[in-house]
Structure 1
Amino acid sequence: MNAEREVRARIEQGLVHTESQAAFRNHLRRTDEIFAYNHTPPGEASRRRELLEAILGSVGARTVLLPPFHAGFGSNVHIGDDFFGNVNLTFVDDVDIRIGHGVMIAPGVTLTTTGHPVHPDRRVDFARFSEPIVIEDKVWIGSNVVVLPGVRIGRGSVIGAGSVVSRDIPPMVVALGAPCRVLRPITDDDLTTRA
């Protein structure tokens, strides 16, 4: 039990740990439920909702998550109200991914809490480290964005398609690129424009 406690502490601190060391967490994986969700007919909305509640750590009202989606665990993902997630959304959720209210995510986005050591000798047994991701309310994430471990995206911000978000993004900005950088603030002028 002490070994398990030590590995939990390493995970919580974002320190390197291995697949074997973290195996005690495998019961938290929702792979069968994710498979069932991804194969549930579109007309079975109540069954999809039931499965989503069984998969995710928490899920708000009026949530749309278009299949297929993928998750390492599923149980470490927490989604607020009025969420829209388009197809091929991937959650690498070895630790928490927290998504606020009114968030929209376009197709092909990856939210990954986990990375690996650079030196190959440190990657034995799939060694990794994990840091939580936070996406605040009313964020819009464009197609094919990758959000890396430990990132927080501030309320109301827009992340441009194809971006790689490796650092925190402040509230109410448009940010894009690889690496993702703030392009400009979002202002009241944006209430009257398309983009």
Structure 2
Amino acid sequence: MDTKMTEREKMTKGLMYDPGDEELCKGRTEARQLIHRFNNSMDKLERKDITKQLFGSTGEKIYLEPTLRVDYGYNIHVGENFYANFGAIFLDICPITIGKNAMLAPNVQLYSATHPIDPTERNSGLEFGKPITIGDNAWIGGGAIILPGVTLGDNVVVGSGAVVTRSFGSNVVIAGNPAKVIKEIPVKSE
């Protein structure tokens, strides 16, 4: 029995993988074709349909503005009532999972991709990633960057221009470079 993982399996699990693999190159090409259609469509229902084809999973109520950029799309999972404003970038070599009722302001960048720090390893052409998870009711401010391996809890607000280099729990406002907690959010019970 052959238990060798494919490059896609390695990639999705956050292991070192070869991005020049034929299956991965084909996946990026297919994603770019869908993205081209998405970014050039004036029809919001067509864009929604393309997003549902492109992303790994979505809620029913989603809305994304063009322009959108992804690596593969199939590693992106968004919940119900998801909104992304203009210029969203998802480098989704590892899963990017976003809960329900999430909003991304313009030019938000979610990077699950990374590279080895050691120059010999980096020059080998291999790379790896770390998943990103964002909880329910998140609001990510304009131009914010979420780096590989970050988990954000529920009800998190990320200030515009923040660079989020580490994980944070629920019910906080974070901002800055690197991002830090600037305020706790008192949550009203329903």
TM-score by length of 2: 0.89
Residue 13 (structure 1) shift: 4.7
Residues in 1 aligned to 2:4 and 2:73: alpha-carbon distance in whole angstroms: 21
**Identity of aligned pairs, percent?**
31
**Residues 62-73 of structure 1 aligned to structure 2 (within 5 Å):** 62-73=61-72
Contact residue 19 and residue 125 of structure 1 kept, 8 A? no
Change (3 A) 1:125 1:37: farther
Residues in 1 aligned to 2:82 and 2:143: alpha-carbon distance in whole angstroms: 18
> 2:78 is matched by which residue type in structure 1?
I
Q: Which stretch shows the higher mean deviation, 84-93 or 49-58?
A: 49-58
The aligned counterpart of 1:36 is 37
Contact residue 17 and residue 126 of structure 2 kept, 8 A? yes
Number of aligned residue pairs: give it.
Answer: 186
Change (3 A) 1:81 1:9: closer
Residues in 1 aligned to 2:86 and 2:72: alpha-carbon distance in whole angstroms: 18
Give the secondary structure class of the aligned counterpart of 1:52.
helix
The aligned counterpart of 1:98 is 97
The aligned counterpart of 2:23 is 24
CA distances 1:132-188 after superposition (whole Å, capped 9, x unpaired): 111110000011111111111110010111111111111000111111111121015
Contact residue 18 and residue 124 of structure 1 kept, 8 A? no
The aligned counterpart of 1:15 is 15
**Residues 11-160 of structure 1 aligned to structure 2 (within 5 Å):** 11-20=11-20, 22-29=21-28, 30-41=31-42, 44-124=43-123, 126-160=125-159
CA distances 1:48-73 after superposition (whole Å, capped 9, x unpaired): 22211111111112211000010000
The aligned counterpart of 1:193 is none
Residues in 1 aligned to 2:51 and 2:73: alpha-carbon distance in whole angstroms: 9
Contact residue 7 and residue 24 of structure 2 kept, 8 A? no
Contact residue 135 and residue 152 of structure 1 kept, 8 A? yes
Residues in 2 aligned to 1:177 and 1:126: alpha-carbon distance in whole angstroms: 32
Contact residue 173 and residue 183 of structure 2 kept, 8 A? yes
Segments of structure 1 that go 5 or more residues without pairing to the other structure are 190-195
The two structures, once aligned, show a CA RMSD in angstroms of 2.1
Residues in 2 aligned to 1:141 and 1:158: alpha-carbon distance in whole angstroms: 6
Segments of structure 2 that go 5 or more residues without pairing to the other structure are none
Contact residue 18 and residue 125 of structure 1 kept, 8 A? no
Residue 17 (structure 1) shift: 2.6
The aligned counterpart of 2:178 is 179
